[in-house]
Amino acid sequence: AIESEALDSEVKAAFEDLFERLKDEGHQIELVSFPYLKQIVPTYYILTTAEAASNLNRYDGIHYGYRSSNATDLEETYVLSRSEAFGAEVKKRIMIGNFILTAGYYDAYYTKAQKVRRLIEKATKEILSDFDFILGPTTIGTAFKLGEKSEDPIEMYLSDIFTVQANLAGIGAISLPLFKSETNQMPFGLQLMCGTLQEENMFSFSQYLMQL
């Protein structure tokens, strides 16, 4: 992750310094490459939008959850409950998910994304079979202001490039607020990923990193 061309130079420098400090403390640190880094974000958003569309189809304002007080009949209850309760981003993801799940695109997108997800899971767990943890930046840069990237959803989604790997691989992960930019005074974090059922060790090492 720290060799990514998109990574902010200040973030990269902070991690290089952290790795040197960990080495001085006696830890073994090795840089590893991940062959599916460019496929992670599109795979994640294909699968999650499809799952969101499928699950939220059952949200009708009658069985559970929010129900619009402005509805006067059954149809309005369905339409208004969904319209009022879902934000713009949720509605966008439902529409994308419904497109992905249509008969003409299901195999081209959803089925292929599931195959890629399995490759990501396998490659991630192979790394963790040799190491206790995977350490890297939480995002490519510092935290951005609320709504700052809302006009450019692609750039906003690409901010997830490092964090969604754990979701796709089905492993534990945590983000630690260890750093603060000297340039814009905004925070940026470290992400720690662990192997299956190794969360207790991950929490212990996280506490160690917070005190380092």
d(CA 48, CA 42): 10
> Is it the case that residue 212 has pLDDT exceeding 70?
yes
Q: What helix, strand, coil percent values describe the chain, rounded to 5? A: 50, 10, 40
> What would the pLDDT profile of 103-136 be if each residue is shown by its tens digit?
889 999 999 999 999 999 999 999 999 999 999 9
Residue 190 in tokens: 């470290």
> What would the pLDDT profile of 22-49 be if each residue is shown by its tens digit?
999 999 999 999 999 999 999 999 999 9
Distances (CA, A) of 201 to 77, 130, 173, 209: 48, 15, 11, 12
> What would the pLDDT profile of 53-101 be if each residue is shown by its tens digit?
999 988 888 888 899 999 999 999 999 999 999 998 899 999 999 999 9
> Is it the case that residue 1 has pLDDT exceeding 70?
no
- The pLDDT value recorded for residue 59 is 86
> What would the pLDDT profile of 161-202 be if each residue is shown by its tens digit?
899 999 999 999 999 999 999 888 889 999 999 999 999 999
Distances (CA, A) of 207 to 12, 166, 177: 22, 20, 12
pLDDT level of residue 206 (50, 70, 90 thresholds): very high
Residue 15 in tokens: 């991690």
Burial 29-46 (b: 16+ CB within 10 A, else e): eeeeebebeebbbebbbb
- The pLDDT value recorded for residue 98 is 95
